[in-house]
Amino acid sequence: MTDDAQAPADQHARVVVIGAGQAGLSVGHHLRRLGLTPGSDLVLLDRAPSTGGAWQFRWEALRLGAAHRVHDLPGMNAMGLRFDDADRSRPARDVVGEYYRRFEQHYDLRVRRPVTVTSMTRIGDTGLCVTVRAGDGGTSRIGAEIVVNASGTWGTPFVPWYPGRDVFRGRQLDTTEYRSAAEFAGQDVVVVGGGTSAIGFLLELDAVAARTRWFTRRPMVWSDTAALDLESAVAAVDEQDRAARAGATLPSIVSGTGVPVTRRIRAGLDRGVLRESPMFTRLDETGVVTADGEHVHADAVIWATGFRADLRHLAPLHLRTAAGGIVVEDGRSVGEPRLFLAGYGPQASTIGANRAGRRIARQVMDALAGS
């Protein structure tokens, strides 16, 4: 047992939920409906400064409808709110932040923010201890019978290593660091990655940057419909579930579903803006070098190469496998049954997050009843 676990907790709760994005709010809402009281026996923690989950950090130009659909939280319709009716002229980060704020207030979820969960340890056989650091730097401990981790991925962008990354003299940034196409006016920009963020960057940089070049690790798969194909979505979720059950690193949802071709994307395809090239082999001081020896000059390289699940605070539980993941079955950790993971594996996108929130909440209540 670690020192964290041995120190007395400053507060005790029946359930702690880590993260107040879509998955965390969905679980919290259902737990409240099942009888837990927010602020006392149900504690929701969020490291972000405001509402909206990862959406609050998205770039200003992103609008609803330009990325994967944002599904309504459970109970939003009863409030008269629907993302399908939201103002698409406003930044998506502002709309989602406002809707989530109204949701939290309406259901009195009492989310604590900004607090960062630094570690989680076991308290013998009785529960888990969550150590948190507040915005002022002070730390405290919360003892819980059950913890639901819904920390998402935004805090852990993935940037793959390629030879020459450390000698390139231009600017390198990941998705979380992108703010505006205006920063790249008149520049040569290389965009790396095959997801919706890379596509959005390329479309925004068109006619702003001097030139753009797009590189992807695998050929793009475009969906003929402007909405996510149900059969492909089910297959992608099944692939995520298999990886979670095996404790493997989770694959990309987009890699299993393809990218729906909206009118905006169709226009980009027709203009030749969205024409990918096979992944380059290395970087040098002034750009990238392709497999056939072509040198592509770059003032900046944007690594829109996805994210990994943010599970660093779970390290003291020693749950990671040699394959890089955590073994999770139906939202529950196999190695630590007092820990549930929401928004992980088959729930890692809006495809299944709300449905999973209800299911995990019921499992949590069953676990509390049996403890």
Q: Please report which confidence band the pLDDT of residue 44 belongs to, taking 50, 70 and 90 as the band edges.
A: very high
Q: Is the same domain home to 145 and 211?
A: no
What's the mean per-residue pLDDT of the chain? 88
Residue 154: CB atoms within 10 A of its CB come to 20
- Assign 126 a pLDDT band (cuts: 50, 70, 90): confident
pTM confidence score:
0.86
Are residues 7 and 145 both part of a single domain? yes
Residue 5: pLDDT over 90: no
Upstream peptide bond of 114 is cis (omega within 30 degrees of 0): yes
- The whole-number average pLDDT for the span 276-304 is 98
Residues contacting residue 6 through CB under 8 Å, at least 6 positions apart: none
The percent of residues in the chain predicted with pLDDT above 90, rounded, is 69
User: Over 50: is that where the pLDDT of 2 sits?
Assistant: no
256 within a domain of the structure (yes/no)? no
Shared domain check, 151 and 7: yes
Rounded Cα–Cα distance for residues 16 and 304 (Å): 32
The percent of residues in the chain predicted with pLDDT above 70, rounded, is: 85
In a domain, 58, yes or no: yes
The residue segments making up the domain with residue 298 are: 171-224+261-303
Backbone angles phi, psi at 141, to 5 degrees: -130, 140
* 230-250 pLDDT tens trace: 444 445 555 655 655 565 565
- Say how far apart CA 140 and CA 104 lie, in whole Å: 23
82/216 same-domain check: no
CA 367 to the chain's CA centroid: 27
Residue 187 sits in a domain whose CATH number is 3.50.50.60
pLDDT value at residue 99: 97
pLDDT at residue 254 tops 60: no
Q: Give the per-residue pLDDT at 231.
A: 45
Which of 303, 331, 359 is the last residue before a domain boundary?
303
**Predicted pLDDT of residue 3:** 44
Distance separating alpha carbons of residues 176 and 159, to the nearest angstrom: 11
Is the Cβ–Cβ distance between 286 and 170 less than 8 Å?
yes
Look at residues 251, 279, 303 and tell me which one is the last residue of a structural domain: 303
pLDDT tens-digit profile of 188-247?
999 999 999 999 999 999 999 999 999 999 999 888 764 444 444 445 555 655 655 565
Q: 165 — phi, psi (to 5°)?
A: -60, -30
